[in-house]
Amino acid sequence: MSLRLGGAVALAAAYLAFTAVPAFAGPTLDAVKSKGQLTCGVNTGLPGFSSPDSQGKWTGLDVDICKAVAAVILNDTNKIRYTPLSAQQRLTALQSGEIDLLVRNTTWSLTRDAQGLDYAPVVYYDGQGLMVPKSLGVTSAKQLDGATICVQPGTTTELNLADWFRAHNLSFKPVVIEALDELNAAFFAGRCDVLTTDISGLAGVRASVATKPDDFIILPEVMSKEPLAPVVRHGDNQWRDIVSWTIYALIEAEEKGITQANVDAKLKDVDPSVQRLLGVQGDLGTGLGVDKAWAYRAIKAVGNYGEIFERNIGKKTPLKLDRGLNALWTNGGLMYAPPVR
Amino acid sequence: MSDSNVTVTKAAAPPGQAAFHLSINNPVVRAILAQLGVALAVALVAWYLVGNTMDNLARLSIASGFGFLDREAGFQIGETLIEFGPQDHYSTAFLVGILNTLKVSGIGILLATLLGVVLGIARLSSNWLVARIAAFYVETVRNVPLLLQLFLWYGLLTEGLPGPRQALSPLPGIFLSNRGLKLPAPADDPIWAWVAALFGLGVILTLVITAWNAKRQAATGKRLSMLPIGLGLILGLPLSVLLASGGGAIDMPVLQGFNFRGGMTLSPEFAALLFGLVIYTAAFIGEIVRSGILAVPKGQTEAATALGLTRGQVLRLVVLPQALRVIIPPTTSQFLNLTKNSSLAVAIGYPDFVSIANTTINQTGQAVEGVLAIMAAYLVISLSLSFLMNWYNSRVALVER
Ligand SMILES: N[C@@H](CCC(=O)N[C@@H](CS)C(=O)NCC(=O)O)C(=O)O
């Protein structure tokens, strides 16, 4: 058996050595068009965000963003190749050109932004949380002095954990396990007192892995800011613009009341801003390097941001997440698209 | 390209050697050209790879260099041999990782060797059942991927054992739970320094007496039994001081909050990795030992038996020393395998060097440097181990007259 250098990290280093990273000036759009396929990096399986169902079909909020981009460029949400990536593999997979776009509950941070990457707008405002079994009798993170905590490497989670405990002058013991399945197994077997990751991730794990979800609680403390956003390679401005405005279009659509169901009817709407967004008036797409009906296709394919949210992670799903910070700015949330004009 | 090589080499050849045909038909010239060609190709590929990597890194504006090593690490490590906290530097974190790798490989090599020798001998046993069991062990363990075995051990230790509040306590101060095995540990007390010093003294005295005993046996044929002497010196000496002083202070593990505090811990991660590595590698070492023993001619055993040696003596004094010459070289490579396989640690959460280097790469983004550090560390460990084993091999090798 050969030395296992932490999965893809070594591979990625090899990629950097063997491949030529695509040069600038819109190469990603051209490459996607000529391949006729969008290669989208997603999670290996995080319910609500990106996970394959029993037929191998991918669903989730992150997956819907991939689909929207594919609809804009290729007019076909089936022309996507999903590349499941572990926490450690994801950034190098993008840097090395293995994928065109990374939509994998990835936190936007300065260090990552400066690693040859660029971020599109946030699609889910999250924060790090702590999940414990109810039987532990803990109601606040401040009571966790001396706890053993299960955490996945390659995440911002791993980094925030030590900071938070230092700031609160508490001690803890990390158990760092690479594969999410094994990590969850260790936590549910009682090896750790606490499981920590993004609160949305905890909700997903609780809903899908715990035998009795009600036996576990997520503590009230939010330990960090985790703005989850799609990632592209640094320097390909056109590509970043397309991904960014696709997301803005989905947010704008919610604000204007355009849904997957009524988008065709809305083509006849008298509101000029709706007409511009759907390409009835003007030609906003050309500036991006796509055609007039770009936003129409995205909305037609996956619905507006609110629909995507409710379908995948909202109150009617096992994750039961509130809109919270992810409500439209008009409803007191942070979802805000710049003028589409 | 090969054409231009030919001309260059021809021109560079010293004129004095012209007598020996400087032609492509001369096998010596051809051999030299082939060597040069390979060297050149390797250099070109290396040059291309390094250049390309630098280009790509620059284009992605990824900084390179090892400057990050003396920045604050900011992460916590679950088990360490030296003091470590998030305020320490990445270089200290690396050291912690290397020590953890050395700890599990060192203990693993020792135990795998012991178990391997037992297995090798057992497979050759005249007792049918013992031989069968050993054969079954070897065949099963060798053919199941190590990673699966690690998951199995880790699963057994974490799912099979109760939580800390229901820990099994076979003896006072000893607790077994899914948080690991908690044992009483020597507390901060000067008496333990004396105990350690006397233990060391006992080991040295035993070695000296053993050497003297061997000389005496060579000269007079008389021999003292070493077992009671060794035990008395190595264990008796420190124990008597400990008892005389009324016993040293002991740090007992106690359940506090939801975990144990104090005492020493054998973590489930370490235990699972150690079990996995030892049990897997011992199967291979067992086969090597078996083949080594079979390589010793039967006449040796017969002659030794004819001299009146007991079966144990035949094995210990005649067969094993000769078998060692066959056993050591392939065993060395098993030791190296065990060390390298310990990098599977991150799969079950043991903080070995690879796991810590991965975390560092995640924090700093210095993937190329991190992977280089991993390669360098394993290279140094492997080379030192080979060096040591080669030295030992040359000592036991047959000295021919
Ligand atoms: N948002 C954090 C954490 C993202 C993350 O990787 N979360 C884990 C735990 S929920 C995950 O999705 N793991 C899935 C996997 O590795 O397969 C980050 O960007 O570092």
d(CA B202, CA B225): 16
In chain A, ranges of CATH 3.40.190.10 domains: 2-125+228-331, 128-224
Tokens of A12: 């990625």
Q: Label the pairing between strands B185-186 and B250-251.
A: antiparallel
- At B293 the pLDDT is 93
Tokens of A69: 């981009």
Please give the Cα distance from B388 to B165 (Å, whole number).
46
**What's the fold here for domain A2-125+228-331?**
D-Maltodextrin-Binding Protein; domain 2 (3.40.190)
Tokens of residue A55, six digits: 């037929």
Residue in the structure block whose two tokens are 């590595």: B277
What is the reported pLDDT for B19? 61
Residues in chain A closer than 8 A to B378 (CB atoms): 3
User: Which of B312, B320, B330 has the alpha carbon at shortest distance from B294?
Assistant: B320
CB contact under 8 A, A147 and B259: yes
Is the four-CA dihedral B301, B302, B307, B311 of positive or negative sign?
Answer: positive
CATH number of B90-159+267-398: 1.10.3720.10
Closest CA in chain A for residue B165: A136
Tally Cβ neighbours within 10 Å of residue A316: 9
Residue pair B162/B168 in contact by the 8 Å Cβ criterion: yes
Question: Residue B342 and residue A287: Cα distance in Å, rounded?
Answer: 54
Whether residue A174 has pLDDT greater than 50: yes
Mean pLDDT for chain A?
A: 91
Residue B186 is predicted with a pLDDT of 80
- Please write the tens of the pLDDT for every residue from A14-54: 655 655 554 444 689 999 999 999 999 999 999 999 999 88
Annotate B335-374 with b (16+ C-beta within 10 A) or e (fewer).
Answer: bbbbbbbbbbbbbbbbbbbbbbbbbbbbbbbbbbbbbebb
Q: Largest Cα–Cα distance in chain A?
A: 67
Say which DSSP state A328 is in.
B
- Rounded to 5 degrees, φ, ψ at B256 are -140, 125
B163 at interface of A, judged by CB pairs closer than 8 A: yes
Q: Which residue of B has its CA nearest to A132?
A: B258
Is the pLDDT at A215 greater than 90, yes or no? yes
If one counts every other C-beta atom within 10 angstroms of the C-beta of residue A211, the result is 6
Chunked mean pLDDT (size 10), chain B, 401 residues: 44 53 82 91 87 73 77 91 92 96 96 96 93 96 95 94 88 89 82 85 90 87 82 85 76 81 89 97 96 93 92 89 91 95 94 94 86 94 93 79 52
- The C-alpha angle A232, A250, A25, rounded to 5 degrees, equals 30
pLDDT in tens, A248-302: 999 999 999 999 999 999 999 999 999 999 999 988 999 899 999 999 999 999 9
Could you read off the pLDDT of A71-113 as tens digits, one per residue? 999 999 999 999 999 988 899 899 889 999 999 999 999 989 9
Verify whether the Cβ–Cβ distance B367 to A92 is below 8 Å.
Answer: yes
Distance, in Å, from the CA atom of A221 to the CA atom of A196, rounded to the nearest integer, reads 12
Helix (H, G, I), strand (E, B) or coil at A176: strand
For chain B, helix, strand, coil in percent to 5 are: 70, 5, 25
Inter-chain CB proximity B86 and A166 less than 8 Å: yes
- Which DSSP letter does residue A114 get? T
ipTM score for this prediction = 0.82
Using an 8 Å Cβ cutoff, are A148 and B259 in contact? Answer: yes
Q: Where do the structural domains in chain B lie, given as residue ranges?
A: 2-56, 90-159+267-398
Those residues whose C-beta lies under 8 Å from the C-beta of residue B13, and which sit 6 or more positions away, are B22
Residue A5 clears pLDDT 50, i.e. is over it: no
Q: Output the pLDDT for position A85.
A: 94
**DSSP element (H, E) containing B84:** none
Question: CA B68, CA B368: separation in Å to the nearest integer?
Answer: 13
Can you tell me the distance from the alpha carbon of B249 to that of A91, in angstroms, rounded to the nearest whole number?
51
Q: What is the pTM of this model?
A: 0.82
**Residue B96 near residue B80, CB atoms below 8 Å:** yes
- Residue linked to tokens 């191998």: A56
| Residue pair A144/A138 in contact by the 8 Å Cβ criterion | yes
Q: Are B309 and B318 in contact (CB under 8 A)?
A: yes
Minimal-distance CA residue to ligand 1 atom 10: A201
Handedness of CA A256, A261, A263, A268 (dihedral sign): negative
A137 C-alpha to ligand 1 centroid (Å): 27
Query: CB distance A88–B358 less than 8 Å?
Result: yes
- The pLDDT value given to residue A26: 64
Gap from B135 CA to chain A (nearest CA, Å): 22
Q: How many angstroms separate the CA atoms of A197 and A216, rounded?
A: 14
Q: Decide: A130 and A218 in contact? Cβ < 8 Å.
A: yes
Q: Which one of A5, A19, A116 has the shortest CB-CB distance to B354? A: A5
**Would you say A275 and A308 are in contact if contact means Cβ atoms under 8 Å apart?**
no
The confidence score (pLDDT) of residue A275 equals 95
Whole-number Å distance between alpha carbons of B26 and B28: 6
Class of domain A128-224: alpha beta
A156 CA closest ligand 1 atom index: 20
